[in-house]
Amino acid sequence: MFIRVTWFQSSPDRLEEQIASFPQQMATGLGTLGGYMGASLLVDRGTGVGAAVSYWESAESMQASEEAGAALRSQVTAADGGQIREIDRFDLVVQERTAPPRANTYVRVNDLQGTAGKVDDLANLVRGEAMSILKAQSGFRAVLMGANRQTGVWSLPRSGRPPPIARPA
């Protein structure tokens, strides 16, 4: 599975409206494309920082959706005045869930920069030693690890508690 993450900055006052319209925007903007597997919206209601995440069956289907994704981003930012801060694409190398995804839960995202050639070593560490530590945390629901094998950027969103941490600008 592959994921595209669009980090954005929005006005906190507009977030509830954006959250409400997100499912329809994704359904009409990407939902009919081959290989589309769904989407998630992560937001920090206090700062307006957020991430729109789309899930793709293959790198090819994600690549084929780039034009539609760009059009959707343009449409959304024009309508709500938000700003796109960064777009990245990841190979989902770890996915462990103890419960199904659920709206209105907390997510912690850790972005790491490492050596692109060490992605599999880190994934094995997360699947092994780190997984038992993560699962022991109160409120743990899931850990997903995405890796950009070209740049060496790794993203580790983990759902559960504590409250979300705003991503630095």
What pLDDT digit, counting tens, does each position of 97-131 carry? Answer: 888 888 888 887 877 788 888 888 888 988 998 89
User: Band of the pLDDT at 4, cuts 50, 70, 90?
Assistant: very high
Give the position of tokens 């997903």.
144
Do the beta carbons of residue 35 and residue 71 sit within 8 Å? no
Q: Give the pairing type, strands 49-56 and 83-97.
A: unpaired
Average pLDDT over residues 67-73: 92
Selection from 24, 26, 74, 17 nearest residue 48 by Cα: 17
Give the position of tokens 């969103």.
157
DSSP per-residue letters across 40-68: EEEE-TTT-EEEEEEEESSHHHHHHTHHH
What pLDDT digit, counting tens, does each position of 22-49 carry? Answer: 888 888 889 899 999 999 999 998 999 9
- CATH architecture of the region 2-159: 2-Layer Sandwich (3.30)
Q: Residue 158 pLDDT more than 60?
A: no
| Burial per residue of 75-95, b for 16 or more beta-carbon CB atoms within 10 angstroms, e otherwise | ebeeebebeeeeebbbbebbe
Q: Residue 69 pLDDT more than 80?
A: yes
